[in-house]
Homo-oligomer: A and B are copies of this chain.
Amino acid sequence: MDPRIKIFAGSSHPELARAICAELDMPLAKSETVKFSNENLMVKIQENVRGCDVYFIQTSAPPVNENIVEMLIAIDALKGASAARVTAVMPYYFYARSDKKDRPRISIAARLMADLLQTAGADRVLCMDLHSPQIQGFFRIPVDQLVGAPILATHMKTWDIQNGVLVAGDVGEAKELGRFANLMGLPVAIVDKRRYGDDDRAVATNLIGDVEGKHAIIVDDEIATGGTIIEAANFLFARGALSVKVAATHGVLSGPAIARIHDSRIDTVLVTDTIPLRDKLSDKVRVLSVAPVFAKAIRRIHDGDSVSDLF
């Protein structure tokens, strides 16, 4: 690779950064984040970056808010050190679910993050499967969005899907279903949730479509605490599903998620490594790597080639 390309890793996911560098056959650039006793961070960029094409890799993983601040400080340091261009590589974008104002007097934090990144000096963004495609519009700088569906679908085709049905856990989250349905040629069904009275929580009430006697595959963009998929799985079994698998790009798997999945009747959960899973794994969870596709995208961006066939 051109020596003027440099890839730095924030604290959130150095494994992925190293895997991407390995794909590109180049070393990870050197930096160090010091955390002082007063919790202030200092990001030391330990290589000359003047005129370089720099990629800073940070994903929304715990401690999320500290990782945001680390990323902003790092980007500011890189620009102050005269990097020619800094691309914020965020496999799992920060605050992606805060993409609309669904109650009064809240922040659209996904937009605020976009503004903060630009204030810190980011020149472009590379990410995967934004919660909604409109988030690209939150940026004035170019955004390349990679897509996890082909990675997941390639693996899912190795499953026995003869009698399968793709399921969305909520009417509002059914958009992705179309993409998977087209890739895999399967029928679809949607869990219809309703809110009753003043209760804030939506309850699975009805199934639009049919899963009886079929192997259900719930698809979503992310799995957080697992509550939604487990409720959906139970609902699908109650409606006669033979088995339930789950596929999602972003395996947040926060709090009790792994334990819940382990104890549930779901047999397989397929995710990618946009978020580090570390010690959180159950043998039901299968992880696919996004490093090859990110490496390919970085090479293309650096060379000025189109990445549009990657998404």
Say yes or no: is A181 at the interface (Cβ < 8 Å to chain B).
yes
Q: How many copies does the complex hold?
A: 6
For the complex, what is the distance from the CA of A279 to the CA of B72, rounded to whole Å? 32
Q: Is the CB of B112 within 8 A of A73?
A: yes
Give the total of A residues in contact with B, Cβ under 8 Å: 98
Say yes or no: is A175 at the interface (Cβ < 8 Å to chain B).
yes
Say yes or no: is A297 at the interface (Cβ < 8 Å to chain B).
no
**Given A44-B105, A209-B209, A305-B48: A72 in contact with B112 (beta carbons within 8 A):** yes
Main secondary structure of the interface of A (DSSP, over half): mixed
Chain B residue numbers with a CB within 8 Å of A70 are 65
Q: Is the CB of B182 within 8 A of A101?
A: no
Q: Is the CB of A124 within 8 A of B208?
A: no
The chain B residue sitting closest to A185, CB to CB, is: B194
Q: Is the CB of A42 within 8 A of B106?
A: yes
Say yes or no: is A76 at the interface (Cβ < 8 Å to chain B).
yes
Could you show 15 A-B contacts with beta carbons less than 8 Å apart?
A: A36-B224, A37-B255, A42-B106, A50-B305, A68-B69, A73-B109, A79-B142, A80-B143, A99-B137, A111-B138, A115-B120, A116-B116, A132-B134, A171-B188, A178-B193
